[in-house]
C-alpha cells in the first residue's frame, strides 16, 4: 500500500457514497487505475464492506448501554453459549472479549430504560453469568468508524 491507497481509504471512510470518478479526481488518478486500486483493497480484505451509518435517536434508540459481564466459567461450551446468546440479541451492536476485571463488554442500544430492563432479563435467562453491570451513556462526545490511517 502506498500514500495513494491511504488517501483513497480516507476518502471512502469519510463518504462511502463517493463515485470512483470523484475519488480518482481527488487522488490525481484516472478512473480505471483508481477502480483497480479499490478492487485490490477489497480483494486484500482491507475494505471489508460499505455501510450506512444510521442516527440512533432518529430511530428512537435513545439509550446506549455498556454492559460489563464477568463469568466464573472459561470453557469452550460456556463461551459458545454466550456467543450464541449475544448474537441472537439485535440490540447488541458491539461485543468484545476483554482482558482485566471484566470478561466481556457489550455495547447495547435500546429505546429507554424499560427496553434495557427487557434486554437484561432476556440476556440473563439465556446464559449463566457471574456478574452483569451496566453503564449508561449520558452524551456521545465522539463516535466514528474511521480508522486512523496516518494521512492528514
- Write out the DSSP string of 42-97: HHTTSS----PPP-TGGGT--EEEEEEEE-S--SHHHHHHHHHHHHT-TTEEEEEE
The three cell numbers locating residue 14: 469519510
Is 27:61 a contact under the CB 8 Å cutoff?
Answer: no
- Phi, psi (rounded to 5 degrees) for 68: -95, 130
Q: What is the pLDDT of residue 119?
A: 98
Q: What is the pLDDT of residues 29-39, one digit of tens each?
A: 999 999 999 99
0.85 surpassed by pTM: yes
The fraction of the chain above a pLDDT of 90, given in percent, is: 93
Domains in the chain (CATH in brackets) are 3-43 (1.10.10.10), 57-136 (3.30.70.920)
The confidence score (pLDDT) of residue 152 equals 53
For 37-51, write each residue's pLDDT tens digit: 999 999 999 999 998
Cell triple for 80: 459458545
Split at pLDDT 50, 70, 90, the class of 11 is very high
Residue pLDDT, tens place only, 93-144: 999 999 999 999 999 999 999 999 999 999 999 999 999 999 999 999 999 9
Residue 89 contacts residue 123 (beta carbons within 8 Å): yes
Cα-based distances in Å from 79 to 15, 83, 85, 110? 37, 6, 10, 24
Amino acid at each position: 500500500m502506498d500514500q495513494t491507497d491511504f488517501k483513497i481509504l480516507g476518502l471512502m471512510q469519510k463518504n462511502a457514497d463517493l463515485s470512483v470518478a470523484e475519488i480518482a479526481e481527488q487522488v490525481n488518478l484516472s478512473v480505471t487505475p483508481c477502480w483497480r486500486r479499490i478492487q485490490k483493497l477489497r480483494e486484500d480484505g482491507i475494505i471489508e464492506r460499505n455501510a450506512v451509518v444510521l442516527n440512533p435517536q432518529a430511530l428512537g434508540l435513545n439509550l446506549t448501554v455498556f454492559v460489563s459481564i464477568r463469568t466464573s466459567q472459561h470453557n469452550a461450551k460456556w463461551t459458545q453459549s454466550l456467543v450464541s446468546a449475544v448474537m441472537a440479541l439485535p440490540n447488541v451492536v458491539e461485543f468484545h472479549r476483554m482482558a482485566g476485571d471484566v470478561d466481556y463488554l457489550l455495547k447495547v442500544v435500546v429505546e429507554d430504560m424499560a427496553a434495557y430492563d427487557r434486554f437484561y432479563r432476556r440476556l440473563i435467562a439465556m446464559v449463566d453469568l457471574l456478574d452483569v453491570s451496566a453503564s449508561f451513556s449520558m452524551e456521545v462526545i465522539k463516535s466514528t468508524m474511521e480508522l486512523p490511517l496516518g494521512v492528514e
